[in-house]
Amino acid sequence: MKRLPGLSLILTVTYLLSSCVNDASEKHQEKEQTEIVPDTTTHYPQEIHLANIKQLTNGGDNAEAYFSFDDSMITFQAKVPAWGSKCDQIYYFPFTDGDMKTQMPKMLSENLGRTTCSYFMPGDTSVLYASTRSGSDSCPPEPEKRTDGKYVWPVYADFDIYVANLKGEVIDTLISGPGYDAEATVSPNGDKIVF
């Protein structure tokens, strides 16, 4: 299953924003939102449906961001040399209390192998993600770039699915062995995963 980076974050924010508006305050709220949206490249000038968009990351390659069950944190994969990652690693951040411009998110994947597709487990005390750490602690070689410049996602047979606590300690290996075991998503009540 191929996911578009950040699509679930955008869709969730869109849903939350649209469900919070009532008819009585819609015109007032629209005026307020228009006035406080900063003039940056983050905001598309012709956008009429979204406002008050908050850019969470800045710099590096950041993708696959998902909310915690209580909507107070996000988990995501990132390759940001300033954060010490040489290839995609898993991070989490309490975005309601902090700002990644001044605070570094917590790395959960211990900088071992390449990682992808993290997802909070029910209770928000652990995160599921895929990693190549069982094959090697080092970053695997990246695929050759496409001639048209489009992104290439490598499919490594060493990807296995792990669960780590918020300290970054692996507490369970859910799927291991040869094969591309990655891109897991947790069911709403946490009793199933699809990958």
Burial class (CB in 10 A: 0-12, 13-18, 19+), 20: exposed
Cβ-based neighbour number of residue 150 at 10 Å: 7
- Say if residue 58's pLDDT is above 80: no
Nearest alpha carbon to residue 76 among 68, 99, 25:
68
Residues across the chain: 195
| Count of C-beta atoms within a 10 Å radius of residue 189 | 7
Average of pLDDT values for 2-31?
A: 48
Mean pLDDT of all residues in the chain?
80
Please say whether the dihedral angle defined by the alpha carbons of residues 163, 165, 168 and 170, taken in this order, is positive or negative: negative
Q: What is the pLDDT of residues 60-117, one digit of tens each?
A: 788 889 999 999 999 999 998 888 888 999 999 997 777 777 888 999 998 899 999 9
What's the alpha-carbon Rg for the chain, to the nearest Å? 18
Helix (H) or strand (E) holding 35: helix 26-36
How much is the average pLDDT of 143-169?
Answer: 91
User: What is the pTM for the complete model shown?
Assistant: 0.72
Q: Which domains can be identified in the chain, with CATH numbers?
A: 1-55 (no CATH), 57-194 (2.120.10.30)
Residue 6: pLDDT band (50, 70, 90) is: low
